[in-house]
Amino acid sequence: MNTPTELSSTLDAARIFFVSSSTLPDGSTQIEWLGSLIIWLLIAMSMISIGLITAALISHRRKIIMPAATADSFLRSSSITDARSVVAADGSDFARIAKAAIDTLPLGRSGAVDAAEQTAEECAARRFRSIESLNVLAQISPMIGLFGTVYGMIVAFQTVSASGGQADPALLAGGIGTALVTTFWGLIVAIPALLAYAMVRNWIDAIMAEALEVTLRGTAQAASHSSERGSHS
């Protein structure tokens, strides 16, 4: 079991991750409000990052972008009319891409391909914009951390200057601690946000490519079946 002294030391060690403070020549401590503000700003940004990552993972699932049931039904469509009815009742991105291809199919298959590709690009761009805040967060947080690093080093150098170049290491600990902790929190925010942004973006891109491929294949099959029926009649 930890003794009260050990517990106090542990709490003091953990405290530096949340509050920036400096030691005065008389041994007392004072809170560095700007350094603490930077730390808490980065902590708040880390919470926002968690929320954005969770929202991105939920909003860009495969079953939302390209429901398997809709894609399978579309591929099994025996005519253009059947294919249109399959996607008409679905609000997914795949349904939008497929509907664009079907609606322009009377103008020729090349027109249907162009319409499907343009719609897929528009859907992908819309989804990319929805996760751009993650990228912004990943870019800004290290800059804020760097600002805290610079501020902490300024505090440390001011301590050295005030002591005539003979500062006690304990007096320098506050400024150096602020510099390191703000860098730490900046990276804590940036790394998961940047990783999630890259993963979700690649995920969206892969599903959109698959949706486009299924759309073109299904549209060609439905058009072929309709042509065969027309020739038989």
Question: What is the rounded average pLDDT of the residues 51-61?
Answer: 94
Residue 108 pLDDT more than 90? no
Q: Which candidate, 109, 115, 111, 94, places its Cα nearest to that of 204?
A: 94
Question: What is the rounded average pLDDT of the residues 79-104?
Answer: 88
Residue 228 pLDDT more than 60? no
Cβ atoms of 182 and 175 within 8 Å: the answer is: no
What pLDDT score was predicted for residue 77? 82
Q: Which candidate, 184, 171, 174, 185, places its Cα nearest to that of 151?
A: 174
The type of residue at 98 is A
List the structure tokens of 34: 């700007």
What pLDDT score was predicted for residue 106? 81
Q: What percent of the chain has pLDDT above 70? A: 79
- Phi and psi at 144, nearest 5°, equal -65, -40
Confidence of residue 117 (pLDDT cuts 50, 70, 90): very high
Tens-digit pLDDT profile for residues 16-46: 767 776 666 555 666 777 888 888 999 999 9
What pLDDT score was predicted for residue 82? 86
What pLDDT score was predicted for residue 6? 46
List the structure tokens of 17: 């991750």
Q: Pick the residue with more confidence: 8 or 65?
A: 65
Q: Which candidate, 7, 212, 192, places its Cα nearest to that of 119?
A: 212
Could you give the CA distance from residue 23 to residue 162 in angstroms, rounded to a whole number?
13
What pLDDT score was predicted for residue 137? 94
Could you give the CA distance from residue 20 to residue 178 in angstroms, rounded to a whole number?
6
Q: Which of 16-30, 72-86, 205-219 has the highest mean pLDDT?
A: 205-219
